[in-house]
Amino acid sequence: MTSKRFNGGIQDGTIATDARARKLDDQCKHIKDSTFALLKTSYPKLTLQRKLTQEQIPGGIGGCEPDGGAWFYDGVLILVGEGKKQQNRGNAIERWFKNNFICRLINPQVSYITFCTGEGAFMNWVEKEGSEDLMTYGQIVKALNVAHLDGFNKYNPGKNSAFLNANGFTKQEMQDIMIEAITERIDTISHQSLI
């Protein structure tokens, strides 16, 4: 008699997403397309890929399909966009590190933008009566802090940038961040080629 044993991952009959996670995923996909449409005329060397090819992945094994796309300028990976939604427990955010690692192997100066939503996307000061205030962190911040030592909720050129909003982002907020990062990377590359 053989019994099936659960070895981790997503169990049969369950899904790893909910309505807010699907919304964030859809936003990332639409934002990448609309942002590319806005920028492609001004930057003809800008290209956008839905995922990295096996030939682009160091070692040629594995996959990398970031929600917000892989952005290249003149053949150089300049930006990757991701969306992560997580409650204040669990390990969904842990999978972020694989894609980030692959992209940093391809270009150590890639700007890696992550939009984080859900109950785990917070940093709050808690006032303690009679003692010092205390900073509390959601699960996303706890998991990603080591890769975001330059801080959260701001763009860090050529590094990792995570934006936190437990309730989600507007399309305009996301697009503004992506445009700022893409144009900064293009300007940086263009300036370096002049030196």
- Per residue in 33-72, pLDDT tens? 999 999 999 999 999 999 999 999 999 999 999 999 999 9
Q: Which residues pair with 115 in a beta bridge?
A: 83, 163
Amino acid at 180: E
What pLDDT score does 131 carry? 67
Q: What is the mean pLDDT of residues 18-44?
A: 87
> What CATH number did the domain enclosing 38 receive?
3.40.580.10
What is the domain count for the chain? Answer: 1
Q: Say if 110 falls within a structural domain.
A: yes
What pLDDT score does 19 carry? 76
Q: For 90-130, write each residue's pLDDT tens digit.
A: 666 777 999 999 999 999 999 999 999 988 899 887 766 66
Q: Say if 120 falls within a structural domain.
A: yes
Q: Which two tokens stand for residue 191?
A: 């300036």
Q: Say if 9 falls within a structural domain.
A: no
Q: Say if 101 falls within a structural domain.
A: yes
What pLDDT score does 11 carry? 43
DSSP letter for 176, please.
H
Q: For 165-192, write each residue's pLDDT tens digit.
A: 999 999 999 999 999 999 999 999 988 8
Mean pLDDT of all residues belonging to the chain: 86
Q: Say if 7 falls within a structural domain.
A: no
Q: Say if 35 falls within a structural domain.
A: yes
Distance CA 21, CA 83 (A): 8
Q: For 68-87, write each residue's pLDDT tens digit.
A: 999 999 999 999 999 988 76
Q: pTM score, two decimals? A: 0.84
Query: Residue 24's domain spans which residues?
Result: 19-53+61-194
Q: Say if 3 falls within a structural domain.
A: no
According to DSSP, the β-strands at 70-73 and 46-49 are antiparallel
Q: What is the mean pLDDT of residues 152-166?
A: 97
Q: Say if 94 falls within a structural domain.
A: yes
